[in-house]
Amino acid sequence: MAEDSFTVTPWEVSGKIDYDKLRRDFGTGAIDDGMRERMKKICGSLHPMLSRGFFFSQRDLKLVLDDHEAGKGFFLYTGRGPSKAMHIGHLVPLIFTRWLQEKFKADLYIEITDDEKYLFKREYQWEELQAATRDNILDIAAVGFDPERTFIFKDSEYVKNVYPLLLRTSRKITHSTVKAVFGFDESTNIGLSFYPAYQAVPTFFEKRRCLIPCAIDQDPYWRVQRDIAESLGFMKTAAIHSKFLPPLQGVEGKMSSSAGLETSILLTDDEKTVKNKVNKYAFSGGQPTVEEHRKLGGNPDIDVPYQWLSILFEPEDKKLKQIHDDYRAGKLLTGELKAILIERINSFLKEHRERRKKAEKEIDSFMYKGKLAKEMWGRTYY
Ligand code: TYM
């Protein structure tokens, strides 16, 4: 692999990602200071994932804010394709989505694609994926969305309410499009060729603009949606894209469930496992010896514990800067930085487990009985 080469598709993320180049290749817009200022004015504050540039790319975000200010509103849509247990990277777009929902009081649709991974890998059995799906839904509910304004649905279950619209959507997407956009070829099963139509359908749930928070790997779907939406009488979707939470081993690629378990922190990891994984595997920007580190300082830009603190685990700018400066100056050692991260992850996971317990009672509202869920089960889409 050439030094600067990388791959980002919905199925694979590898290499050292040049996010500016990726944005140019994908044809998405940047999130500039002006846009951040506008968001801050509307929301009263900025989520650290926005102010620190972790959400770095967008499509039509300006139009979403225009619609909001004109009183038309917009709705949010995001999703998850369950295969195994979730890792902390999967929570990144969800946590940001919760913030957007709180700030904008927007309806939110969460698509659980229990069909997608089944089609993607022959080894998966339906029952095992359904078990992962139930589990994942609990983790998602634990993020703390508004139960009256949020509809979490499983593709295999909600399909009866959308099948005609799904067909209408799929009629607009040709085989040559999915070959070009997703790299499908002659050996791809026809279920997988059809699937992108289902990922587009929730963007049509309301007759106003849809905003999708997700990592940048999902953008190819939105390109397809934007090509066909208007011809179906709907709006082109907007999107706001994040970078990837890097794997423990280094700032290349993304944390992923299909890579080895030692590359990620799972939501089910206990305290000891978290400690072992971080101490053993987390790539450090520190120097090989304490002496050298004291003298030369560490490099936070390539240090995974620092990156994780900056993305997810240290919301306070002042504290983060202190850690950054102390590490650079060699005052803070690698082991000490790792210890800070371990403590943060473990308290985050402890809270998550508690919220997950409470969420068991809320699942029904999100999926069937809350205000939005009830409305959605009463609706059919053509
Ligand atoms: P899935 O299950 O692969 O990923 C779920 C969400 O997590 C994001 N993500 C990450 N974000 C930050 N760092 C990481 N290391 C990381 N790994 C994954 C993904 O971008 C995604 O937002 N096809 C989708 C399911 C889906 C969906 C959607 C996602 C259906 N409709 C609408 C987003 C928006 C999938 O398999 O996601």
CA 199, CA 178: separation in Å to the nearest integer?
Answer: 13
What tokens appear for 5 in the block? 């080469």
With a CB cutoff of 8 Å and minimum separation 6, the contacts of 291 are none
Q: For ligand 1, is residue 218 a contact (CB within 6 Å)?
A: yes
Q: Which residues of the chain form CATH 1.10.240.10?
A: 257-355
Q: Whose alpha carbon is nearest atom 22 of ligand 1?
A: 214
DSSP assignment, residue 60?
S
Q: Which amino acid is at 28?
A: T
Q: Which amino acid is at 223?
A: R
Q: For ligand 1, is residue 80 a contact (CB within 6 Å)?
A: yes
Q: How far is the CA of 382 from the centre of ligand 1 (A)?
A: 27
Q: Give CA angle at 154 (380, 265), nearest 5°.
A: 150
Instruction: Check if the beta carbon of residue 87 is closer than 8 Å to that of residue 266.
Output: yes
Q: For ligand 1, is residue 89 a contact (CB within 6 Å)?
A: yes
Q: Which residues of the chain form CATH 3.40.50.620?
A: 6-248
pLDDT of residue 2: 46
Q: Give CA angle at 175 (156, 241), nearest 5°.
A: 65
pLDDT of residue 1: 41
CA 4, CA 231: separation in Å to the nearest integer?
Answer: 39
In CATH terms, 257-355 corresponds, of 3.40.50.300, 1.10.240.10, 2.60.40.740, 2.60.120.10, to: 1.10.240.10
At how many degrees (to 10) do helices 334-364 and 126-141 cross?
A: 100
CA 224, CA 236: separation in Å to the nearest integer?
Answer: 10
Instruction: Check if the beta carbon of residue 161 is closer than 8 Å to that of residue 381.
Output: yes
From 62, 66, 35, 67, select the one nearest 50 (Cα to Cα).
35
Pocket test of ligand 1: the residue of 17, 214, 304, 307 to mutate, having most ligand atoms within 8 Å of its CB, is: 214
Tokens 């999100």 correspond to 366
Q: Which CATH class is domain 6-248?
A: alpha beta
DSSP assignment, residue 266?
B
Q: For ligand 1, is residue 263 a contact (CB within 6 Å)?
A: no
Q: Which amino acid is at 137?
A: I
Strand-pair partners of 110: 78, 152
Q: For ligand 1, is residue 93 a contact (CB within 6 Å)?
A: yes
What are the pLDDT tens digits along the chain (382 aa)? Answer: 445 589 999 988 989 999 999 999 999 999 999 999 999 999 999 999 999 999 999 999 999 999 999 999 999 999 999 988 899 999 999 999 999 999 999 999 999 999 999 999 999 999 999 999 999 999 999 999 999 999 999 999 999 999 999 999 999 999 999 999 999 999 999 999 999 999 999 999 999 999 999 999 999 999 999 999 999 999 999 999 999 999 999 867 788 777 667 789 999 999 999 999 999 999 999 999 999 999 999 999 999 999 999 999 999 999 999 999 999 999 999 999 999 999 999 999 999 999 999 999 999 999 999 999 999 999 999 9
pLDDT of residue 256: 78
Q: How many CB atoms lie within 10 A of CB 163?
A: 15
